Structure 1
Amino acid sequence: MNYDFNFDIHIMVNSPINIIKKLNLTNKTTVIVHNECGGVEESVNFLKSLNIPVGIAFNPESDISLRYHEIVKKILLMTVIPGFGGQKMIKKCVNKIDVVKRIYNDNVFVGVDGGVNLKTIHMISKSDFFVVGSEFFRSVDKGSYILDLKREYYRNK
């Protein structure tokens, strides 16, 4: 597959290695696996051996770990309990953006996933990226919605 942009693959399963080995990955792909899933270390080491950028996602109740600090390029903070879309953001999770930046010394990109919409985007302005799901797919004019999100996000940076 030829493409000239980077993208993330967010794998939310136990034993992510089984999925990862089936993917045609390049160094333009960051694979994000969940800290709480079984087989994370095996997945991280496999990706590292292929020089594929790695990210770790942390669930709302999880403590931020330094375990992979020399390997990961991205930390994805889940601000909802993973499992289904359309949930409201757990606002106390937003404070973890500062925690990650302090622990990882700004050496990773910090993202937020869960409950991100036009009403909550201002709260995550310290993040480096964000994921939008349900709200985007429910929007009538997707292009305008993305522009509005970007405008609100950068207004608060």
Structure 2
Amino acid sequence: MTVRADVTTAAGEPAGHVIFKQTDHGVVVKARLMNLSPGEHGFHIHETGACSPDFKAAGGHYDPLRAKHGFDSEGGYHVGDLPNLIVEADGTASADFFAPQLTLEAYEDDRYPFTLADADGSAVMVHAKGDDYQAQPPGSTGERVACGVIFAD
């Protein structure tokens, strides 16, 4: 199964897409983005499949375990935490990640691996600044600058 999220900037410009591909052991995430400011950007899965003009409708990071934020946090990290994106001088970013904690299979209970296809969906979010992988509460990444609703092809 493959799922695609078309991403737009806060100004409404197309910003590329993110492909999520189910494997036997998790989800491969392939980001192909554009129209972003150069540098390091936080990149996360958010809990609700909605992108309003300010992207607040997407809710917080996808975190069914109620863990602390960041890969460097003691005791684990949010299910929706992903590595930072590096945006080139021309505004593009291309990155591939493997997320063993995720699945595209639909079910409603919170169990491992965690589904992106629950009743309210999920969204992929690009933030203004790079993630420090530990800030509590989350928020060191700044404003939400691009968002895409995750949906099945």
Structure (1/2) with the larger helix percentage: 1
Structure (1/2) with the larger strand percentage: 2
How high is the TM-score relative to the length of structure 2? 0.27
How high is the TM-score relative to the length of structure 1? 0.26
Rg larger in structure: 1
**Structure with bigger RCO (C-alpha 8 Å, 6+ apart):** 2
